[in-house]
Amino acid sequence: MATPSSPVNVVTGRHELLYGGDYNPDQWTPDVWREDVALMQQAGVNLVTVGVFSWASIEPEPGRFTWGWLDEVLDLLHEAGVGVDLATPSASAPPWLARLHPETSSVDAAGVRTSVGSRNHFCPSAPAYRDAVVAVARALAERYGDHPAVELWHVGNEFGQECFCDLCAGRFRAWLADRYGDLDGLNEAWGTTFWSQRYADWAEVVPPRVAPYVHNPAQLLDFRRFTSDQLLDLYRIQAAELRRAGGTPVTTNFMGFFPGVDQHSWAGDLDVVSDDHYGDPEHPTPARSALTHDLLRGVGRGRPWLLLEQATSAVSWRAHNVPKTPVQMLQDSLRAVAHGADGVCYFQWRASASGSEQFHSAMLPHAGPDTRLHRAVREQGAVLKRLGAVAGTRVPARVALVFDWPSLWASELPARPSEHLRATAQLEAYHRPFWEDGIPVDVVPPDADLDGYDLVVVPSLQLVGDAAAANVARVPERGGVLLVGPFSAVQDPTTRVRTGAFPAPWTGVLGVAGEEWRPLPPDGVAVRSDAWGEFTAHVWSESVAARDADVLAAYDGAGLAGEPAILRRTVGEGEAWYVSTVPPSDMLGAVVRACARAAGVVAPVLDLPRGVEAAVRGDVVFLLNADDVARDVTVPGGAEDLLGAPVAAGRVELAPGGVAAVRVSPSGR
């Protein structure tokens, strides 16, 4: 199942699973560098990200580059066998740029130009900023394109900034002209007849700056799209410089479901998809982490991805920052590997003594190497080494969850039926039963090739284009199972409501006709079902008629007595399900599992004990015991544990907090 074609395989082919963190040597003296490299070797570190915030160290004055320190650091790392993910420093320009070119600093929606002294204060449109970014990327590429330490290029950091300045207004107009042709097209797409917003001249069109009342939703959505494209362009002009220096793969670090950029539209420009992921140890959400990993793998179309940032223990940007236990630290990393990551790295190697993240945990804490935390870091390095064979393998998913950013953005626009119906919460709810059962799931956009999936789930897709809607509607026709959640396919890509019975493009395939979205009062509504008994649904209901579908559950209250809540239409070999409300977790689990059964999708582990998480990658079943008691688990066909525990007849014992990676023999499945 290895995939030698993926560019990152060049790196993992050398190191197997990647392990390391951000490394900021310019904050330390050369003697510390030597201690660092020695400790990295002892910990099994094989990849560090260097230079993300080093612009001022590289180019302390405009055009004057100081390479000496970086030359020395890269040489030291290379000698120690530690690969380098070398970054362009575009996320934080030195203060001299703002001094010489004030227009390079971003402007907020109220017209306030942001100040230096933090980070991310750039306007992506400012020519002087763009020129400076290209120049420093070119200089890096020219100097280090052939350096043997450099195994990966890294562009910027956590893209997602917004700027509302006049330069951005100009580029926004050009982007809109390109999208809609002329002002008539724009006026039509934005529905500017509403509230007398019709534009008579391009000069009138601006970003959604501070206004007396709510903004045009189409303008808001297009500004999101524009911002994502604008940042992608910023990525591209840097990546182009790096690629000129040779074939070293290029990446940037995304942030899971963060709404700043449309990762699907970016993916084609990345050689490997990377993510930053920071769960809150005070409120662990392993299911959400698994979903996010499935998303990132989907962004990369199933290829291995890299977890470039996470925390070894506490972060410092929450109000109250609870630390991780060593068990959590290891399981968080192995969960990422199990869901397709070929590397697990941290922010950062050595804890900073100064600056805004001085209280953020690191691989090497302020108190030094003789600490519980650093010992756990070393142990993790050893574990990852034993899992080397996993590198490059794929996750064998037969279930697809549909998600995309434009629809997420639409679901966050103001003035909608309910802020309590949240797209990502719906996604989590429909993903959770699969996570509980250890069933692999891909998270894909609605225009993905869905033919390989037996079950396609659309938890929430408020906005969808015609072609993508048709793509989804084909699933039952070719014998698959389609499961659609409420308030989906409501708007076209301009945010225009699709009038008529809803969900307009899918009334046929689902056999339903909706007429009113009905957010529920706090008590919710009773729902009765022959299959699943009676339950109370909250937040949302809909007035929907069954035109050509079986009613599996019906409302009993909230002005909807007797009307259908959950429906199923049989389409030859296929099935199309519609859930018009938000059932409680166990009930939704029953619905989702019924769909899985109908699609012939089965779990990889028998009677998975409560508290144990399972995930399949390649021919390995990962098992993570989050509980503080030992657990026996049986993996059909389980042959050996890569981490060394005995396996008999597929059965392995997990210690409290223990983990296993059970390889399944081909005959045994």
Task: Write out the catalytic residue numbers.
Answer: 158, 309
User: Binding a second copy by CB under 8 A: which of 5, 29, 196, 667?
Assistant: 196
Shortest distance in whole angstroms from residue 268 CB to a second copy: 28
User: Residues 426, 581: contact at Cβ < 8 Å?
Assistant: no
**Minimal distance in Å, beta carbon 118 to a second copy?**
4
- Taken as a whole, the chain contains a residue count of 669
63 binding a second copy? (CB under 8 A): no
Nearest distance, CB of residue 121 and a second copy, angstroms: 5
As measured in angstroms, the least distance from the Cβ of 259 to a second copy is 16
Tell which one of 2, 128, 197, 240 touches a second copy (CB under 8 A): 197
- The least CB distance from residue 324 to a second copy, in Å, is 9
Would you count residue 41 as binding a second copy (CB under 8 A)? Answer: no
Pick the closer one to a second copy by CB: 175 or 434. 175
Binding residue (CB under 8 A) for a second copy from 1, 112, 531, 629: 112
Q: How far apart are CA 335 and CA 327, in angstroms?
A: 12
- Rounded-to-integer distance, Cα 520 and Cα 361, Å: 43
Q: Binding to a second copy by residue 174, rule CB under 8 A?
A: no
Q: How many Cα atoms within 13 Å fall on the side-chain side of residue 183? A: 10
**Does 316 interact with a second copy (rule: CB under 8 A)?**
yes
Among residues 565, 589, 587, which one has the least CA distance to residue 578?
565
Q: Residue written as tokens 């109250």?
A: 320
Query: DSSP letter at 662?
Result: E
Q: How far apart are the first and last CA of the chain?
A: 16
Q: Of 236-244, 290-298, 348-356, 650-658, which part binds a second copy (CB under 8 A)?
A: 348-356
Residue placing its CB nearer to a second copy in the complex, 308 or 513: 513
By beta-carbon proximity to a second copy, the closer residue of 108 and 269 is 108
Closest approach of Cβ 492 to a second copy, in Å? 9
Nearer to a second copy, 172 or 532 (CB): 172
Tokens (6 digits) for 506: 């899918």
Q: Applying CB under 8 A, does 67 fall inside the site for a second copy?
A: no
**Which CB, 320 or 667, lies closer to a second copy?**
320
Q: Which of 399, 466, 424, 464 is nearest to 603 (CA)?
A: 399
Of 400-439, binders to a second copy (CB under 8 A) are: 414-420
Q: At what angle do helices 585-599 and 423-437 cross, to 10 degrees?
A: 60
Q: Does 515 bind a second copy (CB under 8 A)?
A: yes
- Smallest Cα–Cα separation from 218: which of 197, 237, 246? 197
CA distance readout (Å), 5 to 42, 261, 388, 583: 31, 26, 18, 43
Q: 615: closest CA among 476, 469, 438, 465?
A: 438
**Considering the complex, what minimum distance in angstroms separates the CB of residue 539 from a second copy?**
8
Among candidates 536, 533, 466, 538, which has minimal Cα distance to 506? 466
d(CA 518, CA 214): 22
DSSP-derived letter for residue 497 is: B
- Measured torsion, CA atoms of residues 3, 287, 615, 473, in degrees rounded to the nearest 10: -60
Cβ-based nearer residue to a second copy, 243 or 416: 416
Contacting residue, 29, 31, 63, 118, with a second copy by CB under 8 A: 118
| CA neighbor of 403 nearest in space, from 334, 361, 450, 340 | 450
Which one of residues 230, 238, 248, 494 is an interface residue with a second copy (CB under 8 A)? Answer: 494
Out of 1, 30, 38, 61, name the contact with a second copy by CB under 8 A. Answer: 61
656 contacts a second copy (rule: CB under 8 A): no
Paired residues of 546 in beta bridges: 512
Residue of the chain from 325, 536, 570, 634 that contacts a second copy (CB under 8 A): 325
How far apart are the C-alpha atoms of 339 and 62, rounded to whole Å?
Answer: 44
Beta-strand (E) ranges in 164-304?
A: 250-251, 253-254, 274-276
List the one residue out of 178, 185, 174, 191 whose CA is nearest residue 495: 191
**Among 103, 357, 412, 477, which residue sits at the site for a second copy (rule: CB under 8 A)?**
357
Minimum distance, C-beta of residue 209 to a second copy, in the bound complex (Å): 4
Q: Tell me: does residue 175 bind a second copy (CB under 8 A).
A: no
> Any contact of residue 120 with a second copy (CB under 8 A)?
yes
Structure tokens at 288: 């959400």
What is the smallest separation between the CB atom of 619 and a second copy, expressed in angstroms?
A: 35
Q: Which of residues 548-567 bind a second copy (CB under 8 A)?
A: 559
Longest dimension (CA), the chain: 76
Residue 230 binds a second copy (CB under 8 A): no
Question: What's the Cα-to-Cα distance from 394 to each of 35, 307, 336, 341, rounded to whole Å?
Answer: 37, 16, 13, 10
Instruction: Determine if 499 is a binding residue for a second copy (CB under 8 A).
Output: yes
* Residue listed under structure tokens 């012939």: 600
The residue (of 42 and 316) whose beta carbon lies closer to a second copy is 316
Exposed e or buried b for every residue in 617-648, given b needs 16+ CB within 10 A?
A: bbbbbbbbbbeeeebebbbebbebbbbebebe
**Which of 1, 38, 203, 382: binder of a second copy (CB under 8 A)?**
203
Instruction: Assess 514 for contact with a second copy (CB under 8 A).
Output: yes
Residues 266-285 that bind a second copy (CB under 8 A): 282
Among 80, 177, 240, 322, binds a second copy (CB under 8 A): 322
Q: Does 602 engage in binding with a second copy (CB under 8 A)?
A: no
Total interface residues for a second copy by CB under 8 A = 117
Smallest distance from a second copy to CB 375, Å: 11
- The secondary structure of 11-25 as a DSSP string is HHHHHSSEEEEEE-G
Q: Does residue 667 bind a second copy (CB under 8 A)?
A: no
Nearer to a second copy, 218 or 270 (CB): 218
Residue closer to a second copy by CB (options 113, 651) is 113
Q: Name the residue type at position 15.
A: H
When asked if residue 366 is in the footprint of a second copy (CB under 8 A), the reply is yes
Query: With respect to a second copy, which residue has the nearer C-beta, 285 or 371?
Result: 371
Pairing of strands 83-88, 150-155: parallel
Residue 3 in contact with a second copy, rule: CB under 8 A: no
* Residue in 108, 233, 447, 653 binding a second copy, rule: CB under 8 A: 108
Between 350 and 568, name the residue whose CB sits nearer to a second copy: 350
* Cα–Cα distance, 296 to 342 (Å, whole number): 12
Residue 471 or 494 with smaller CB distance to a second copy: 494
Instruction: Let me know: does 458 contact 446? Beta carbons within 8 Å.
Output: yes
Stretch that binds a second copy, among 209-217, 470-478, 583-591, 597-605 (CB under 8 A): 209-217
Determine if 102 is a binding residue for a second copy (CB under 8 A).
no
Q: Does residue number 319 form part of the binding site for a second copy (CB under 8 A)?
A: yes
Q: Which of 2, 10, 53, 550 binds a second copy (CB under 8 A)?
A: 53
In angstroms, give the least distance from the CB of 181 to a second copy: 18
What angle, 0 to 180 degrees and rounded to 10, lies between the N-to-C axes of helices 423-437 and 286-299?
A: 100
Q: Which is nearer to a second copy, 7 or 611 (CB)?
A: 611
Q: Is 241 exposed, middle or buried (0-12, 13-18, 19+ CB in 10 A)?
A: buried
Give the C-alpha separation, 535 to 562, whole Å.
Answer: 14
- Binding of a second copy by 628 (CB under 8 A): no
